[in-house]
Structure 1
Amino acid sequence: MQASNKTVVKSMKILKLFLNHSKLTFNEMMEYSGIPKTSLHRMVGSLEEMGFLTKDEEGYYSLGLLFLQFGQLVADRLDIRTIARPIMKELRDDVEEAVNLIVRYGNEAMYIEKLDTPQPVRLYTSVGRRSPLYAGESRIILAYLPKGEQETYIENTDLKPIGIGTITDKHVLRQSLDEARKNGYVVTRSELENYTASVSAPVLNGQNQVAAAISVAGIEARYQEDRLPELIKKVKKAAMEISKKLGYSYL
């Protein structure tokens, strides 16, 4: 086993001590873990610096607030999947298109749930797939971020072309985001994969913040202009149903 792997294993051993103890001194961690003092001191220092451990005025260590953030993210995403799935199924059966549930993952988007289309020709987007926030159906998430956070993302992101329709001009992207926020949806064409299209809408939580996006996506030929109003209406309706179950109120 490589040295770096051993360090990770030992660090996890330290953190697991707090499954049974809310607080521990350094000496108690050394006693319970069996890790030599010098090694333990180095690892505890690193864990504290990264926010995994915190030390109080009396010298006791406990799990850091970072774990609360991770825990809340996991809980939120699991809740969203549980709540969204029956609504996604109803939407999929109605429009016969693939339905995706997407969340923000740092400066990217992650697909956390998908229901395939019954159509013989389909997109093979998988759960766990990541994509840029500026491209494809996940752009609706970027559109609903606070303006300052949105602008920071744009300024620090290189808009690389992925498909033939990917937006690579920051001025055009800003216009697209303003329009998406105003209309409450995004329509994309050939942004992540050529000759594909999608319609997405935001899922909002009880704090009126964007928690996810729901989209229908498929082959561009099935997303003609005369069909778009129907798809937009139904995707927005599904997004609102999920949002209400998360505590969102538009009143």
Structure 2
Amino acid sequence: MQNKNKTVIRSMDLLHLFLTHTKLSMNDMIRLSGIPKSSVHRMIGSLSDMGLLHKDEEGLYSLGLLFLQFGNLVAERLDIRGVAAAEMRRLRDEIGEAVHLAVRDGDSSMYIEKLDTDHPVRLFTKMGRRAPLYAGASSRILLAFMPEGERDAYLDEVEPEAIGLGTIVSKPKLREALEEARAHGYAFSRSELENYTAELSAPIFDHTGKMVAGLSIAGPEVRFGEDGLAERIRLVKEAAHGVSLKLGYAGPPA
């Protein structure tokens, strides 16, 4: 406690109660926090005056709208590339393949960050590269977790064209692949954008539960055989979920 303000710490203890409770009475806060009634009364008054707590007509308290303002500012100012950097490095070092961070830009996906591997045989890509949402694991994971209405509108309008040997051009097969991606939390592609390459991608979600990016590994198709693929899937999903948690996501892994 040295050099720490006890009143501030106790006030935070009260606010932390609302992480698991939507509304609380003053007696609830006293009981749950173990803080003396007189102290709780003073702190509630100060927190309410500052807009950090709101008291309704029934005398129950909830978090104030000031948290919404701060929360939106934090979300707006988060640089997803910076947030994802540590997980991307860890994933690259564990798997030894190039790691990409992709976002949706209209009807395309776009790489906004990448980490190369020092493997002598590797896939060369660049930031800013675009691909249609129907082709490649990074694109398809973004399409799979788009809002249903937007996804259906896109699928109704798009006419998939072959880019690589493995590009999915059949709409029924594309819809099936999207359903599998949503069900299993990852997308996998072979020779869809470039022949003899493979990519494995998982979704990243923000604090609202909205999908905001895809994290992927990519490399020569020969290194993406059945042996070890399950472990790679686990590591990619784990890394994507790690980024989601840093963005404030509170839900389960995809």
Counterparts of 1:157 and 1:125 in 2: how far apart (Å)?
A: 25
Residue correspondences, number? 178
The answer for the alignment partner of 1:118 in structure 2 is: 118
Counterparts of 1:115 and 1:242 in 2: how far apart (Å)?
A: 16
SS in 2 for 1:199: strand
The answer for the alignment partner of 1:162 in structure 2 is: 163
The answer for the alignment partner of 2:188 in structure 1 is: 187
* Shift, 1:81, TM fit: 0.1
The answer for the alignment partner of 2:136 in structure 1 is: 136
The answer for the alignment partner of 2:219 in structure 1 is: 218
* Shift, 1:146, TM fit: 1.4
- Indicate the larger mover: 131-140 or 229-238: 131-140
What CA deviation, in whole Å up to 9, does each residue of 1:105-140 have, x standing for no partner? 111000000000121111111001111111102200
Counterparts of 2:76 and 2:105 in 1: how far apart (Å)?
A: 14
What CA deviation, in whole Å up to 9, does each residue of 1:173-199 have, x standing for no partner? 001100100000011100000000011
* Shift, 1:75, TM fit: 5.1
TM-score (norm 1): 0.69
AA matched with 1:96: G
SS in 1 for 2:249: coil
Any unmatched runs of 5+ in structure 2? 1-72
RMSD: 1.5
The answer for the alignment partner of 2:93 in structure 1 is: 93
AA matched with 1:237: E
Matching of residue 171 in structure 1 with residue 169 in structure 2: no
What CA deviation, in whole Å up to 9, does each residue of 1:89-109 have, x standing for no partner? 010011000000000011100
Counterparts of 1:231 and 1:194 in 2: how far apart (Å)?
A: 21
* Shift, 1:148, TM fit: 1.3
AA matched with 2:123: L
Counterparts of 1:146 and 1:211 in 2: how far apart (Å)?
A: 11
Counterparts of 1:198 and 1:128 in 2: how far apart (Å)?
A: 17
What CA deviation, in whole Å up to 9, does each residue of 1:23-74 have, x standing for no partner? xxxxxxxxxxxxxxxxxxxxxxxxxxxxxxxxxxxxxxxxxxxxxxxxx9x9
Q: Give % identity.
A: 52
The answer for the alignment partner of 2:42 in structure 1 is: none
* Shift, 1:226, TM fit: 1.3
SS in 2 for 1:206: coil
AA matched with 2:166: G
Counterparts of 1:218 and 1:227 in 2: how far apart (Å)?
A: 14
AA matched with 1:93: D
Counterparts of 2:227 and 2:123 in 1: how far apart (Å)?
A: 22
Residues 33-52 of structure 1: pairs in structure 2 closer than 5 A: none
The answer for the alignment partner of 2:249 in structure 1 is: 248
Counterparts of 1:164 and 1:227 in 2: how far apart (Å)?
A: 24
AA matched with 1:189: R
The answer for the alignment partner of 1:31 in structure 2 is: none
Counterparts of 1:145 and 1:83 in 2: how far apart (Å)?
A: 21
